[in-house]
């Protein structure tokens, strides 16, 4: 049904102060790419490419469970609704997973969340140039899916590059902070310092730790995928380690208070559709997070979903999130098809004839000054 390949891409450069040890250091991003083996997708189908971004303390493999089930859904429901999934990518943020291994010796003392969003966009553009996938055009649409830290970065990503994505799907994003919440946030860091470990005497000890840590309530298959991807034997000192070191997990926590206020100021400029999922029993986000996000993003670009679950709902109750993603795929396919049939895209109307496209749009927008009478896209 699909092939899996491992890749790396250049991270964004330059980075915020403290993101690397030297300002001249270039980082890399490790990611898995999942590509359909279906070579019979009709040319008139809407085709999706998905980008997955994990939260702190996790890695790209938290999304493996999703990939297979979404390809299955595309092969059945997608076929009947005239849409398909071509490719999906799941990346390790620059300081976690295989990205952290690639960047060993270069990582700084703070991880800027907005730098992470620039990384996502850099990866998508790398795919566009290297494989020809993830092109955003009338029939090919990109969707970004992020949880927690990844949810905040998904918001940043569509703010920085509003035409690069058709939809941002955010799962309990950490995207709101107050001075009071910030003080509480820093008070818990010493407690986390006692709980977090990154070095173990044996593989058994490492696996026991990961199974008893904050991921312990994850779906068994997802937890197995994460653990398999996270275990690392350091040949230099002969110890087993998590790929994400404790300092780099804290670098993410330390980067939040500097980045979150920025996304809060910029949310009103969002012009890409956003699905905001709130985990109703979640205790991680500051009180008022959902209300702020839902008031800041323009209503015409926002869809809200409330789910009964904790902050880690993407790993603990994946079926509830999958249901929402599946519904969003069907909805976005219908919207894209409507925009195509309503003659919104001149490149389709005039079959790519550049001269006819320019003449038509010049007359309707500049000369006749009736820009508002053109066909409008459905959002």
271-285: pLDDT as tens digits: 999 999 999 999 889
Tens-place pLDDT, residues 241-269: 999 999 999 999 989 989 999 999 999 99
Query: What proportions of the chain, in percent to the nearest 5, are helix, strand and coil?
Result: 45, 20, 35
Tens-place pLDDT, residues 219-234: 999 999 999 999 999 9
Domains of the chain: 2-340 (3.40.50.1820), 342-373 (no CATH)
Residue 70: is the preceding peptide bond cis (ω within 30°)? no
Q: Return the pLDDT at 371.
A: 46
**Higher-pLDDT residue of 194, 120:** 120
Residue with token string 């195509």:
340
CB 107 within 8 A of CB 251: yes
Count CA atoms closer than 13 A to 3's CA, side-chain side. Answer: 7
Does residue 373 register a pLDDT over 60?
A: no
Tens-place pLDDT, residues 101-112: 999 999 999 999
* pLDDT band, residue 367 (cuts 50/70/90): low
Does residue 377 register a pLDDT over 90?
A: no
Determine which helix (DSSP H) or strand (DSSP E) holds 337, and give its type and residue range.
Answer: helix 318-341
- The fraction of the chain above a pLDDT of 90, given in percent, is 86
Average pLDDT, the chain: 94
Residue with token string 């550049």:
354
pTM of the prediction? 0.95
Pairing of strands 140-147, 199-200: unpaired
Q: How far apart are CA 150 and CA 169, in angstroms?
A: 10
């Amino acid at each position: 049904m699909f092939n899996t390949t491992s890749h790396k891409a250049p991270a964004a450069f330059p980075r915020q102060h403290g993101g690397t040890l030297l300002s001249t250091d270039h980082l890399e991003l490790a990611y898995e790419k999942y590509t359909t083996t279906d070579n019979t997708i009709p040319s008139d189908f809407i085709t999706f490419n998905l980008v997955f971004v994990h939260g702190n303390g996790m890695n790209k493999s938290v999304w493996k469970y999703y990939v297979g089930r979404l390809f299955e859904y595309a092969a059945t429901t997608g076929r009947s609704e005239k849409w398909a999934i071509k490719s999906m990518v799941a990346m390790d943020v620059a300081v976690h997973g295989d990205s952290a291994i690639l960047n060993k010796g270069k990582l700084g003392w703070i991880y800027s969340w907005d730098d992470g969003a620039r990384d996502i966009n850099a990866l998508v553009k790398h795919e566009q140039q290297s494989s020809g996938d993830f092109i955003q055009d009338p029939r090919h649409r990109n969707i970004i899916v992020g949880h927690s830290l990844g949810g905040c970065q998904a918001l940043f990503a569509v703010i920085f590059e509003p035409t690069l994505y058709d939809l941002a799907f955010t799962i309990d994003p950490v995207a709101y902070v107050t001075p009071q919440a910030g003080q509480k946030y820093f008070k818990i860091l010493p407690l986390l310092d006692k709980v977090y470990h990154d070095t173990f005497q044996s593989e058994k000890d490492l696996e026991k730790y990961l199974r008893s840590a904050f991921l312990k309530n994850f779906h068994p298959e997802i937890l197995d995928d994460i653990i398999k991807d996270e275990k690392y034997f350091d040949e230099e000192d002969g110890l087993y380690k998590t790929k994400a070191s404790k300092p780099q997990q804290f670098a993410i926590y330390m980067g939040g208070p500097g980045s979150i206020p920025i996304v809060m100021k910029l949310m009103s400029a969002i012009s890409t559709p956003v699905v905001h999922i709130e985990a109703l029993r979640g205790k991680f986000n500051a009180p008022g997070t959902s209300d702020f996000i839902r008031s800041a993003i323009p209503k015409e670009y926002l869809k809200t979903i409330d789910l009964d679950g904790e902050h880690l709902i993407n790993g603990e109750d994946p079926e509830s999130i999958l249901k929402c993603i599946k519904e969003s795929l069907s909805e976005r396919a219908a919207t894209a098809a409507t925009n195509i049939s309503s003659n919104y895209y001149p490149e389709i109307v005039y079959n790519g004839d550049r001269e006819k496209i320019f003449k038509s749009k010049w007359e309707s927008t500049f000369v006749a000054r009736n820009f508002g009478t053109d066909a409008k896209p459905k959002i």
